[in-house]
Chain A
């Protein structure tokens, strides 16, 4: 049986893969044994939500993309990647309303993790754009749920990490675009105060906004950032470019896992320094392809392998809007720890949604990548406590090391999620390594 791991490649386990058609899923679910079943997409969650040690791992259902309806919605199979969906939509002058930092995620995974992107402060998260979904429950029955049809089950499925059932397909919104380009405004900001002020004052003017922070900068430069904001580019600003060209495959790949971690201190410091210095102080109206703007790392296939055999961890947390002080303190500790981390990502979220396990809440989110090492545990455990004290939480799609005891404080509506799960899956047909680790 093959080994499954998350994008961080940290805690692999062995499960039995199954690759059914949508029609075969109900029988498969009914036949699930004691170790349970979990649906897996493209394995871009960093930790262990899409693996199931000793149990079944349901591989992505075949790609199916329906026509764009008059109201702008499209029906897609859960196994469809956002890459394929975007490639199908762009030539029709449509785009997805929410995309995370990679298009190599499936629609099912985007729902289960309720993913967000640079537009969260305007559009909310992926689940806010799902009109309905077809879900196979533990008893093998298929139910269509949506914000108005069994809303409890729908919102428990959005952000529910695959633990309410198997999503077969979903009807999701699309948005009109004139081109496959973004018009981008870039600002270099000397410290955390400046970038937070710029986001507070200016994010409302942009649909897309995110800042890359150099987590190795300290003192007066703590939180120095490059803030990148933009809009879909109109046809009249892109010049002679072909307007609706779909995204291509990765141009480079990391073909093998090197025997050692290549993400080491000096190289990272030099990279972060160069990257900050080359950024323009203030540039307006740059035209970037949507791929370069939304998915810069998708240009390098398998970049996660660069961290070597022990992999890496991403720590992404959010603290409420009025807890900027907590963000500053946490960033100080991250900077003091001097761990080799390429640029971390800072974003100011808009309000969250009705999902009990959805990550976003109005406030500040920071995502920080570091090589996995046991010595990291005390720092991250201490950050967990500070995040909880500030009323925040960590993102389960990125998590690979949180302890179960922290979960109720981070997700105060956990009991609502558990109640729905008790109703639709009392025998725990749907399980994952994450559900075991966090006693979900």
Chain B
């Protein structure tokens, strides 16, 4: 159960080795006991994450998760939920890819669409069923401002996030009245291993900033946030820029 001060007892991280997912676990770990399930591909990165979170005093499970294998998702969520309720689930996996290759390399385009859109829809449906059954629970979807107004420079990635964002916003509406909730998180540029080597954009943040915003929003009962908060105004402006002008913007 999530307590009166917004602290969950259990946390499921789908894409459990992502920087933001681990930062969210750390942020809650500072405030109390927590059982974390890391759903990720087996390997040294997952092992390291288990070791780190265990060292913070959390109890940690690792389960094998493969985003492409959508037919395994239902069983995975059910097995995680079989011992304890899922208080908070974070959909944290995603791929950025090389932008220019992405729209010209068929395999890469399909890969991005699968990992960033199809797989989130797949786990979203399973998680929704679970929180509905539980009568409580929060699904946190890590979207991106890139999906809010898709731009030429990374439109394959942006379009997958646009779809994912729309799906989870709609899922949140569909879950109203069931006790389950959805929080859609739209970070701007986050300095993580996914964006390593790229020039940081204005208003860029760290994974820790996203994590702090997420734990606060879960306690608040929010359903949509931008990180940093100022990004909301920026994106609201960008959404209304005419295409002819938008094309010329250096973004």
B5, B9, B85: the one contacting A313 at CB < 8 Å is B5
Please indicate the chain A residues that have their CB under 8 angstroms from the CB of B7 in the complex. Answer: 374, 377, 401, 403
| Chain A residues closer than 8 Å to B1, beta-carbon distance | 11, 13, 48, 53, 433, 436-437
Asked if A3 is an interface residue, CB under 8 A from chain B, the answer is: yes
Interface centre among B5, B219, B221 (most CB of A within 10 A): B5
Which of B128-136, B190-198, B201-209 participates in binding chain A?
A: B128-136
Could you tell me if A47 and B4 are in contact, using CB atoms closer than 8 angstroms? Answer: yes
Shortest CB distance B91–A (Å): 21
* Complex contacts, A404 vs chain B, CB 8 Å: 9, 33
**In the complex, what's the smallest C-beta–C-beta distance from A420 to chain B, in angstroms?**
23
Question: What's the Cα separation between A14 and B33 when bound, in Å?
Answer: 24
State in angstroms the CA–CA spacing of A1 and B4 once bound together.
21
Query: Does B170 reach chain A (CB closer than 8 Å)?
Result: no
Q: Write out the residue numbers on chain B whose beta carbons fall within 8 Å of the beta carbon of A400.
A: 3-4
Encoded as 1 (CB less than 8 Å from any A CB) or 0, chain B from 63 to 94 comes to 00000000000000000000001000000000
- Whether B216 sits at the interface, judged by CB under 8 Å, is yes
In the complex, what distance in Å separates the CA atom of A52 from the CA atom of B33?
Answer: 22
Chain A residues with CB below 8 A from B9, complex form:
404, 436-437
Q: Closest CB of chain A to B131's CB: distance in Å?
A: 9
Closest to A433 in B: B1
Shortest CB-to-CB span from B245 to chain A, Å, is: 38
**Chain B 1-21 interface mask (CB, 8 Å, partner A; 1/0):** 111111101000000000000
A273 within 8 A of B: no
Q: Taking the nearest CB of chain B, how far is it from the CB of A379, in angstroms?
A: 10
**CA gap between A297 and B68 in the complex, in Å:** 58
Contact B219 A53 (CB under 8 A): no
Chain A residues with Cβ below 8 Å from B6 are 374
Instruction: Give the chain B neighbours of A1 by CB distance below 8 A.
Output: 135, 177-179
Within the assembled complex, what's the spacing in Å between the Cα atoms of A109 and B219?
Answer: 28
**Which of B215, B216, B219 has the most CB atoms of chain A within a 10 A radius of its CB?**
B219
In the complex, B32 has a CB within 8 A of chain A: yes
Interchain nearest-CB distance for B183 vs A (Å): 15
Among B32, B177, B178, B179, which residue has its beta carbon within 8 angstroms of that of A403? Answer: B32
Interface mask (B155-179 → A, CB under 8 Å = 1, otherwise 0): 0000000000000000000000111
Bound-complex Cα distance A377 to B135 (A): 24
A376 contacts which of B2, B5, B179 (Cβ < 8 Å)?
B5
Q: Do B179 and A11 have beta carbons less than 8 Å apart?
A: no
Distance of A377 Cα from B3 Cα, bound (Å):
10
Residues of B within 8 A of A380 (CB): 5
- Interface pair B4/A313, CB less than 8 Å apart: yes
Are B134's CB and A54's CB within 8 A?
yes
Q: Which residues of B have CB within 8 Å of A8?
A: 4
Nearest CB of chain B from residue A49's CB, rounded to whole Å: 11
In the complex, chain A residues 366-412 whose Cβ is within 8 Å of any chain B Cβ? 372-374, 376-378, 380-381, 400-405
A41 within 8 A of B: no
Q: Does A311 sit at the interface, judged by CB under 8 A?
A: yes
Enumerate chain B residues within 8 angstroms of A47, measured Cβ to Cβ.
4
Q: Are A54 and B135 in contact (CB under 8 A)?
A: yes
Q: In the complex the two chains form, is A374's CB within 8 Å of B33's CB?
A: no
Distance (Å) between the CB of A32 and the closest chain B CB? 15
Q: Select A436's contact among B85, B133, B220, beta carbons within 8 Å.
A: B85
| Count of interface residues, chain A, beta-carbon cutoff 8 Å | 37
Kindly state the interface size class of chain B when it binds its partner: 20 to 34
A378 to chain B: which residues have CB within 8 Å?
31
- Which chain B residue lies CB-closest to A434? B1
Chain A nearest Cβ from B73, distance in angstroms: 21
Output the least CB separation between A434 and chain B (Å).
8
Q: How many A-B residue pairs have CB under 8 A?
A: 90
The distance in angstroms between the C-alpha atoms of A437 and B6, with both chains bound, is 12
A154: shortest Cβ distance to chain B, in Å? 28
Q: What CA separation (Å) do A401 and B7 show in the bound complex? A: 8
Bound-state CA distance A3–B32 (Å) is 26
- Mark out the residues of chain A between 8 and 31 whose CB falls within 8 Å of any chain B CB in the assembled complex: 8, 10-15
Cβ contact within 8 Å between B179 and A53: yes
A14 contacts B4, C-beta separation under 8 Å? no
A11 to B136, CA, bound (A): 9
Q: Which residue from A10, A53, A373, A401 sits with its C-beta under 8 Å from B136?
A: A53
Q: Is B33 touching A405 in the complex (CB atoms < 8 A)?
A: yes
Least Cβ–Cβ distance between B132 and chain A, in angstroms: 8
- The A301-338 residues at the B interface (CB cut-off 8 A) are 309-311, 313
Q: Quick one: closest A residue to B132, CB to CB?
A: A54
A55 at the interface (CB under 8 A from B): yes
Instruction: Report chain A residues within 8 Å CB of B5.
Output: 10, 313, 372-374, 376-377, 380, 401
CA distance A313 to B5 in the complex (A): 9
Q: Which residue of B lies closest to A437 (CB)?
A: B1
Q: Does A129 make an interface contact (CB < 8 A)?
A: no
Q: What A residues does B31 contact at CB under 8 A? A: 374, 377-378, 381
* A35 at interface, CB cutoff 8 A: yes
Contact digits for B119-157, partner A, Cβ 8 Å, 1 yes 0 no: 000000000000001111000000000000000000000
Q: Which residues of B contact A376 (CB under 8 A)?
A: 5
Q: What sequence of 0s and 1s flags, for each residue 83-100 of chain A, a beta carbon within 8 Å of any chain B beta carbon?
A: 000000000000000000
Q: Hey, which chain B residues are within 8 Å of A10, CB to CB?
A: 3-5
A47-B4, A313-B5, A433-B1 as given contacts; A54 in contact with B136, CB under 8 Å: yes
Given contacts A53-B1, A374-B219, A436-B85, contact A381 B32 (CB under 8 A): yes
The 6 closest A-B pairs by CB, nearest first: A14-B179, A54-B135, A10-B4, A400-B4, A53-B135, A53-B136
A48-B4, A381-B32, A436-B1 provided; 4 other pairs, C-beta below 8 A?
A: A10-B4, A54-B133, A374-B216, A436-B85
9 A-B Cβ contacts within 8 A? Answer: A8-B4, A10-B4, A11-B4, A13-B135, A13-B179, A53-B85, A377-B5, A377-B31, A436-B1
